[in-house]
Amino acid sequence: MESLTMRAFEARNAHFDALVNTPGLRWLGQNTNHAPSHPAVREAMERCIRDEGFHVYAPPAGFEALRAGIVADFGLDGQAALVSDGAVASLYHVCHTLLAPGDEFVTTDPTWNWPMAFARSVGATVRQIPIYGPEHGYRLDPARLEAAMGPRTKVVYLVDPNNPLGTACTAEEIAAIVEIVRKAGAYLIHDCTYRHFAHEHHLAAKLDPERTLTIYSFSKWLGLAGLRVGAVIAHPDMAERLAAAPPNNLGSSILAQRAAMAGLAIKDEWFPGVLAEQRANQALIKAACDRIPGLVMPVYPSNGNFVVLETGGLGISPEALVAAYQERRIMIRQGSYHTPNFGDRFVKVSVSVPRDWVEEFVDLMPAMIERARGMNTDVKLF
């Protein structure tokens, strides 16, 4: 059993390796940001290499200037940031710190999957609240969260804006969720990885700084996915608790942290252009979708750097459409990557990419839908 699992893992890894090394692949499936970096960000990295500034370890919780910059970016004065190897490492850290065997971890379906694996790995059980579909408005109704809370619920994990749906909680919803978590004596992990792309976003930590742990990423807004830098922002007492046993006590990549600090310094000048571009890309896809009877974009505009397209009305499976685009070296994501329960309904397309990638994607749409009909999808997907 063990070796079978390992072989499946090795095969997936090798497949991904081949993709990363495929020249000209158009990455419309990972929510990564492919905008050219600001020259100041490139210069910060080049300087780090030129000066050989990478021989030393970074401070365990991250450079002080970066920690302060992250807290300031979210306006969470009085809170403490612990820099990590991407947001995912913070999620791992928080799940391992807060959860014990028998505890319950509550999240939505769809959600971001890895934290569920982290929760299970420490013996917690996972409960998911379905939010997919027009009957739910593709969002979490706080009343349904309240109904799902049990005596053992220790953590509520809220991806907001939701990946893959692109919905974001309103101020009223956040206030209600915070109150439900507080009443239950639980903690809220507010995963704000996509906050920068939202039309409107509300931080739970402003309402309950003690019970909220806010997750921050530089992978999406700044485009540093391959460098691995993110953070958890928490109350100083919680930060103290987290600091006792972090997964990486030797500090995150110095190169990545230098890039992140430079990024925060140019954010106001650089990011609005990236945001406008990805919103224009969303609009291109929406217009193309509206021209094709049966293809539906259920959430528009999206508060993330991605959109969801429903393929059911076309009589084709998401996997077939993904496989068809894959033949053209365009990566989009089948819904089953995110959720087994609703994955047969949609594909996800990431839009913080060059305009011509999106133009190619939409121009090919009618042909790819035809190609997907009756297609054998027994192929390796991205």
Ligand X SMILES: Cc1ncc(COP(=O)(O)O)c(C=O)c1O
163 versus 317: smaller Cβ distance to ligand X: 163
What minimum distance in Å lies between the beta carbon of 168 and ligand X? 12
What minimum distance in Å lies between the beta carbon of 297 and ligand X? 19
If you compute the radius of gyration of the chain from its CA atoms, what whole number of angstroms results? 21
What minimum distance in Å lies between the beta carbon of 94 and ligand X? 12
CB within 8 Å of 217: residues ≥ 6 apart: 86, 87, 193, 230
29 versus 142: smaller Cβ distance to ligand X: 29
- Cα 15 → chain centroid: 21
Q: Which residues bind ligand X (CB under 6 A)?
A: 31, 86-88, 112, 159, 163, 191, 193, 217, 219, 225, 230
Give the Å distances, CA to CA, from 58 to 61, 230, 264, 320. Answer: 8, 14, 18, 46
**Is 361:330 a contact under the CB 8 Å cutoff?**
yes
Cβ-closest residue to ligand X?
Answer: 86
What minimum distance in Å lies between the beta carbon of 139 and ligand X? 15
What minimum distance in Å lies between the beta carbon of 372 and ligand X? 25
Phi, psi of 89 (to 5 degrees): -70, -35
Question: How are beta strands 230-234 and 212-217 bridged, if at all?
Answer: antiparallel
Question: How are beta strands 212-217 and 187-191 bridged, if at all?
Answer: parallel
139 versus 371: smaller Cβ distance to ligand X: 139
87 versus 106: smaller Cβ distance to ligand X: 87
CB within 8 Å of 123: residues ≥ 6 apart: 99, 100, 101, 102, 103
Give the Å distances, CA to CA, from 349 to 102, 302, 331, 332, 336. Answer: 37, 11, 8, 5, 14
What minimum distance in Å lies between the beta carbon of 220 and ligand X? 7
**Residue labelled with tokens 């540093």:** 224
87 versus 372: smaller Cβ distance to ligand X: 87
17 versus 363: smaller Cβ distance to ligand X: 17
**Mapping DSSP to helix (H, G, I), strand (E, B) and coil, where does residue 333 land?**
strand
d(CA 237, CA 242): 9
What minimum distance in Å lies between the beta carbon of 152 and ligand X? 24
What minimum distance in Å lies between the beta carbon of 294 and ligand X? 28
270 versus 337: smaller Cβ distance to ligand X: 337
Question: How are beta strands 80-84 and 230-234 bridged, if at all?
Answer: antiparallel
58 versus 314: smaller Cβ distance to ligand X: 58
First-to-last alpha carbon distance for the chain, in angstroms, is 25
